[in-house]
Structure 1
Amino acid sequence: MKRLVLFNRDLRTIDNTALIQAIDGETPVIAVFIATPQQWAQHDLAPIQADLIRRRLEALHEELELLNVPFLYKECDDFERANEWLLALSAELGVSELFLNFDYEINERNRITALSERLEQQGKTVCVFDDKCILRPGSVLNKQGKNFKVFTPFKNAWKAQFTLARVQKPKMSVPTDVPAHYRYESNVPFNYPTVSSLPMPVDTNSIIDKLRAFSHDRVANYHQDRDFPAVDGTSQLSAYLAIGALSARQCVARLYLDATMSNGQEPTLSEGAEIWLSELIWREFYQHLVYFEPKLSRRHGYLSWERNLIWQGNEEAFTQWCNGVTGYPIVDAAMRQLNATGWMHNRLRMIAASFLIKDLHVDWRWGEAYFMSKLVDGDFAANNGGWQWCASTGCDGQPYFRIFNPIRQGERFDAQGEFIRQWIPELANVPNRHIHQPWLWEACQKLEYPEPIVDHKTQREITLSVYKAAKDQH
């Protein structure tokens, strides 16, 4: 009898709970990844992220081979067909146990439930593990035994419960063989649109080196640098976290290891490391929310009065926002960075989302889907949480009357316009004093850059009125 490990958004061997639990040194272990292009399309998987997954599979295959774990690959249209194929494969190969890590989105949960029921009916054992979060959903609850609705109390409870765990590596498995036509090869079918991602390494050593470099060299200044898009102040690890090539446990373990090495006493995180840890806890907060609130996976607002909002925006304005031609430099530079690289600085994600929702009055779901279709680090829980935070419809979202001024945001976080000029070459010669409002420059007629498509002050008043009406109606 054999054990089968099903990979999904956990494309790593180090610190992979399902894989580590499956390998006991006695029972043969087989690993499998199933591409589901139609399902991915429904979930707005970005072609640039699909390319990262495709390349990461090659590295994962090599790592599994070193562990004596054959790596199988199959392409099925969707989760239902994938389950049918897995059932047939398990019967053919004599699989007695399935090991996998849990996903919290509703379609993924339903997939696991349906597969588990079918396998258990056949007398097979299904072992499902909480691996995506450091502390599993349901383990961080308030005094009433409910999940937290506000981030700061969640963070405090999370930190009080957190204990540093050792990052585990899998053992060597016993050799086993499978039919050659199931095995992964570098030229396997991958019928999903792909766009070459940035020069991002996909081998584990390089990924861990990036984590080490950030933790050792840059995290101490993270609290000072993280909001400035022209500064290399972020970790650039989010894409690896999104596809599971790196775990949050590895990130936190590295933070504390470097803290211990720096003072030789009890591990004390720097201010920058504390802020980055807080960002990782935000990630867990949103994962827990998706687990407890299936309506989020159905793209419903977290707050019930959200359904009363009347979205007055139109497709033309949305298209201008997508293409980075709104006439507001910091917004346009952000969107052009996203379109060109598949990544956007986190501060800019908030600015761009706020502008679409509260200046252009476009339904936040349009922006949520567009981001997912472009982001190399697209993660449903984090993306949905971020968009609903900006829309003031989410759990612990910003108050609806807090509306980012795109001019002030640019002046604050890109004062000299370095980032803007990088992505909007039309504004290269605009003086610093006008870079955030180029329409005020005396030579603005010479610019091949649009005037603002809306007046922020006017749109702000409209937003306040619309949101107040929605809440009053509720």
Structure 2
Amino acid sequence: MSSILWIRRDLRIHDNPALSEAIAQGVNIAVFISTPKQWQQHDLAPIKADFMRRHLDRLALQLDAFGIEFIHLSATDFAHQQQVLLQFCQAKGCDTVLANTEPEDDEVVRDRHIAQSGLHLKLWQCDTILPPGSVLNKQGDMFKVFTPFKNAWLKRVQQVGIECVPSPAASTVLPNDASIAPVTFDYPQLDSSTWPCSDTVMAEVLPRFWQYKLLNYAATRDFPSIKGTSGISPYLAIGAISPRWLALQLIQAQPEVIYDQQHGAFTWLNELIWRDFYRHLLFHFPNLVKGDNFQTKYQLAQWPGSDEAFNAWAQGRTGYPIVDAAMRQLLHTGWMHNRLRMVVASFLTKHLLVDWHKGERFFMQHLIDGDFSANNGGWQWAASTGCDAQPYFRIFNPITQSQKFDPQGEFIRKYLPELKNVPDKYIHFPHEYIEKNGVVSDYWQPIVEHKQARLRALAFYKSY
């Protein structure tokens, strides 16, 4: 009997322990099993589906250089995926499947069922920098506040380091592109070609970011009109770039960053630690995937926000320019600047009192970097229902946020041409200026008044 490699959310050659083991064993088949019905249930964004497809095409070529044939199989959902995998292994005379873990509960349950079916499923963890369960408090429990988790995380890295699986050496014979059939999905897709494949990012984009932007990241990352971020989140979401590789590259170049939280590069490392934090939470609290509020006092909350309010937010028609421009960015590009994600999430949950689950789902349906743990953690943070969330009385003022992070309105004008003739001074809340000066603009009136919405939100949260 023999083994096959099962490609899942690990669309890369580097730091891929299942692939390394497959090469060591002489495995010559790798499968990817698409599940359109499951993807729909999990709100996979069409642009993310296209991004995955492009990386699978690239991975098929790379695997060919190792003498591994890539085979795309199709199923409907996870239950059918198990059947397809079992039937394929039986047909090929395989009894062992090599794969890397996936953290969400549905995926964990699926793997458990596969292991019970008679197949030997060998799993490796390479989805986080430090393995889930390895960063605990003195009582042996998961931290429920980020800062002590971060400090314990750093201490552990200082003690044991970060270990990546070495990239295997491929054949020098170039694969024949024409001999490998392109991957096709029976699932809606939107063009993702403005995002290069991961090998280009690793070879060109990240080195430029590290050289020219990293030390200024803390100062520039909150300004959406500045391209001050690394843009790696879509690659992490599909496993096209390893988080361990990223952290190791940073620490090797800036070894003092894990000892000095005032270091210029620490803010970027801190984002990777936040990613680990949310994934470790998912490991310890798997019910988060079932929609549970981390703070259980909100579990039965009756959010009064209307469908009309949600639709105005989703279409970028709230009357608050920074909110509307951010939502337009999401709708037009499949991505949103991180500072703006906090602003629009706070607006939906606190100004409009719409259930955060609706915003969470909308983001997943549109984001190229949609990732359950980070998305869930971010929405629960904004709604003050989550682990180490912002206090319920912290309510972002979208006007002052706009003035602070888009002072000249460059980002607003890019996505709201309706406001192109409004001066900088008034761009953040232009209604009075438009009315007094007879400016020709199709911009709409605000759907809520900030002070009243704030008082309403405080009353709502105090009731719990």
Which digits, 9 at most, give the CA deviation of each residue in 1:443-462, with x for residues without a partner?
26632101111001101111
Measure, in 1, the Cα distance between the counterparts of 2:225 and 2:447.
Answer: 25
Q: Does 1:311 align with 2:303?
A: yes
Match of 2:122 among 124, 127, 136: 127
Measure, in 1, the Cα distance between the counterparts of 2:184 and 2:66.
Answer: 25
Give the corresponding residue for 1:238. Answer: 233
Measure, in 1, the Cα distance between the counterparts of 2:339 and 2:329.
Answer: 13
Q: Does 1:435 align with 2:434?
A: no
Contact 2:2 2:94 in 1 (8 A): yes
Instruction: Give the TM-score, by structure 2 length.
Output: 0.94
Evaluate the alpha carbon distance shift between residue 351 and residue 418 of structure 1 in structure 2; reply closer, same or farther with a 3 A threshold. Answer: same
Instruction: Give the TM-score, by structure 1 length.
Output: 0.92
Percent same amino acid at aligned positions? 47
Contact 1:17 1:129 in 2 (8 A): yes
Give the corresponding residue for 1:300. Answer: 292
Match of 1:448 among 439, 442, 447: 442
Which digits, 9 at most, give the CA deviation of each residue in 1:46-89, with x for residues without a partner?
00000100111110001000011111111110111111011111
Q: Does 1:145 align with 2:137?
A: no
Q: Does 1:185 align with 2:184?
A: no
Cα displacement (A) at 1:267 = 9.6
Evaluate the alpha carbon distance shift between residue 165 and residue 51 of structure 1 in structure 2; reply closer, same or farther with a 3 A threshold. Answer: same
Unmatched segments (≥5 aa) in structure 1: 174-182
Give the corresponding residue for 1:5. Answer: 5
Evaluate the alpha carbon distance shift between residue 462 and residue 244 of structure 1 in structure 2; reply closer, same or farther with a 3 A threshold. Answer: same
Give the 3-state SS of the residue equivalent to 2:118 in structure 1.
Answer: helix
Which digits, 9 at most, give the CA deviation of each residue in 1:159-186, with x for residues without a partner?
111113355202559xxxxxxxxx9621
Q: Does 1:360 align with 2:355?
A: no
Which digits, 9 at most, give the CA deviation of each residue in 1:228-247, with x for residues without a partner?
00111001111001000001
Which digits, 9 at most, give the CA deviation of each residue in 1:368-387, with x for residues without a partner?
00000000000000000000
Q: Which deviates further from its counterpart, 204-213 or 214-223?
A: 204-213
Give the corresponding residue for 1:178. Answer: none
Cα displacement (A) at 1:309 = 2.3
Give the 3-state SS of the residue equivalent to 2:122 in structure 1.
Answer: strand
Q: Does 1:251 align with 2:251?
A: no
Measure, in 1, the Cα distance between the counterparts of 2:322 and 2:222.
Answer: 13
Cα displacement (A) at 1:295 = 1.5
* Pairs aligned (count): 453
Contact 1:330 1:436 in 2 (8 A): yes
Contact 2:234 2:369 in 1 (8 A): yes
Give the corresponding residue for 2:223. Answer: 228
Contact 2:135 2:142 in 1 (8 A): yes
Q: Which deviates further from its counterpart, 202-211 or 377-386?
A: 202-211
Cα displacement (A) at 1:5 = 1.3
Q: Does 1:42 align with 2:41?
A: yes
Contact 1:256 1:267 in 2 (8 A): no
Contact 1:83 1:115 in 2 (8 A): yes
1:136 is aligned with what amino acid? P
Evaluate the alpha carbon distance shift between residue 269 and residue 390 of structure 1 in structure 2; reply closer, same or farther with a 3 A threshold. Answer: closer
Evaluate the alpha carbon distance shift between residue 444 and residue 159 of structure 1 in structure 2; reply closer, same or farther with a 3 A threshold. Answer: farther
Give the corresponding residue for 1:72. Answer: 71
The 4+ residue runs of structure 1 with deviation greater than 6 A are 265-270
1:7 is aligned with what amino acid? I
Contact 1:72 1:184 in 2 (8 A): no
Cα displacement (A) at 1:198 = 4.5
Which digits, 9 at most, give the CA deviation of each residue in 1:382-423, with x for residues without a partner?
000000000000000000000000001001111111110111
Evaluate the alpha carbon distance shift between residue 324 and residue 272 of structure 1 in structure 2; reply closer, same or farther with a 3 A threshold. Answer: farther
Q: Does 1:399 align with 2:364?
A: no
Unmatched segments (≥5 aa) in structure 2: 172-178
Measure, in 1, the Cα distance between the counterparts of 2:164 and 2:355.
Answer: 44
Q: Does 1:426 align with 2:418?
A: yes
Contact 1:48 1:374 in 2 (8 A): yes
Aligned CA-pair RMSD:
2.0
1:13 is aligned with what amino acid? I
Contact 2:63 2:69 in 1 (8 A): yes
Give the corresponding residue for 1:286. Answer: 278
Measure, in 2, the Cα distance between the counterparts of 1:268 and 1:167.
Answer: 27
2:23 is aligned with what amino acid? I
Give the 3-state SS of the residue equivalent to 2:83 in structure 1.
Answer: helix
